[in-house]
Amino acid sequence: MKALFSNRRTIAIDPINVLEILFILLILYFLFYIKSIVLLVLMAFIVMVGLHPLVHFFRDRLKIPKLSSIILAYLIFLLMLAVFLAFVVPPLAKELYQLLRAIELPVLDDEIRNFNFTLQEISNLAGQVGSSVGFLIQMVNTAFSSIFTLFTLFVISFYLMLERDDLYKKVSWFSKKPAHLRMAREFIDSIETQLGGWVRGQLILMLAVGSIIYAGLTLLSIPHAMPLAILAGLLEIVPNIGPTVSSIPAIFLAYVTLGPLMAGITALLYILTQQLENNFLVPKVMSANANVNPLTAILVIIIGLKVAGVIGALLSIPVYIILRTVYSTFLFPQAPVDE
């Protein structure tokens, strides 16, 4: 027994391995420090992979030059965005305004009715006006910052699209081995297939579910059908939980305005829509794409929300797909199967 415990083992740690680990940790810290820039580049990459099939169609099928194909694809995308803003946002804003008008705030009414123009009240009002001016300035700065960020996003995605066929060659900055270039090319192709497919599939699901819910709520005469349908479409990004959460305000409004019977019919509408989505839409649309497990998607979205807020939640699935592809391509690549 004494001999068993008296054995000593010497563990040798290679200084090179320690330096490699420290280097990786420094890279991760630096990426976290500039996470806003990383998220911007990631969003630009998502736009690029989403529009690349359209560019590919124009260039290979219609024989349009590459630069013209890219410009045409972005013009179509911007046109669709402008149509959405012109025909969807104004009715949506009107319905939201009507919804806010429908909410009774007796406490606010009492405050307005009992307001006296005393010196103290005027001082408080001046302070509120001053804070409102500061808030307005902040809103203007935020608007300009958002416009600049959006412009930068399109510029980055445009150049990524322009360099798409040669992106894998950028790895030559670190290695010129043919095997590494081949792995980089496979990595980018895999990312485009999975991420582009997930983006397009998710957009199709959002549009389909939102349209079904809007048509159903309109036929049932449920008030504020458009914002409720848009909410249902947006929450499609969260599997299973999103459709359930989006049904709560619709059922509540149906119960308050039209009674319990219509609330039950509204709940049935959402249940049937979710069944149609799970049994028909998702297998048809998402089966050949990223194939992200629903439980994994929920956990990843929660982590993204914790790390980077709403933007992190929206980009969490693309980040997961990229990390999964890095793992399968570089860390544990599958060996080729001999035929």
Please report the pLDDT score of residue 265 as a whole number: 92
Give the C-alpha separation, 193 to 290, whole Å: 8
pLDDT at 148: 83
pLDDT given at position 338: 36
Tracing tokens 């290679």 back to the chain, one arrives at 14
Secondary structure class of 177 (helix, strand, coil)? coil
Distance (Å, whole) CA 227 – CA 231? 6
In whole angstroms, give the CA distance from residue 242 to residue 237.
7
pLDDT score at 289: 59
Task: Find out whether 258 and 120 touch, Cβ atoms under 8 Å.
Answer: no
Structure tokens belonging to residue 126: 């001046």
Q: Give the integer Cα–Cα distance in Å for 283 and 297.
A: 16
The amino acid at residue 22 is L
**How is the chain split into domains, by residue range?**
20-104+136-162, 173-333
Residue 206 structure tokens: 């959002």
The pair phi, psi for residue 227, each rounded to 5°, is: -65, -35
Q: Write down the H helix ranges in the chain.
A: 2-6, 15-33, 35-56, 66-87, 89-102, 106-113, 119-162, 178-219, 225-234, 241-258, 260-276, 282-286, 294-326
Token reading at 329: 């391509």
pLDDT of residue 106: 46
Per-residue pLDDT of the chain (339 residues; tens, 9 = 90+): 555 555 566 666 667 777 878 888 888 888 888 878 888 888 888 888 888 888 888 888 888 888 898 899 889 988 988 887 777 677 767 766 666 565 454 444 454 445 454 445 545 555 555 555 565 666 667 767 778 888 888 888 888 888 887 777 776 667 777 877 888 888 888 888 888 888 888 888 889 999 999 999 999 988 888 888 888 888 888 777 788 888 888 888 888 888 889 999 999 999 999 888 878 877 776 655 566 777 788 888 888 888 777 777 778 888 888 888 888 877 766 544 333
Global pTM value: 0.68
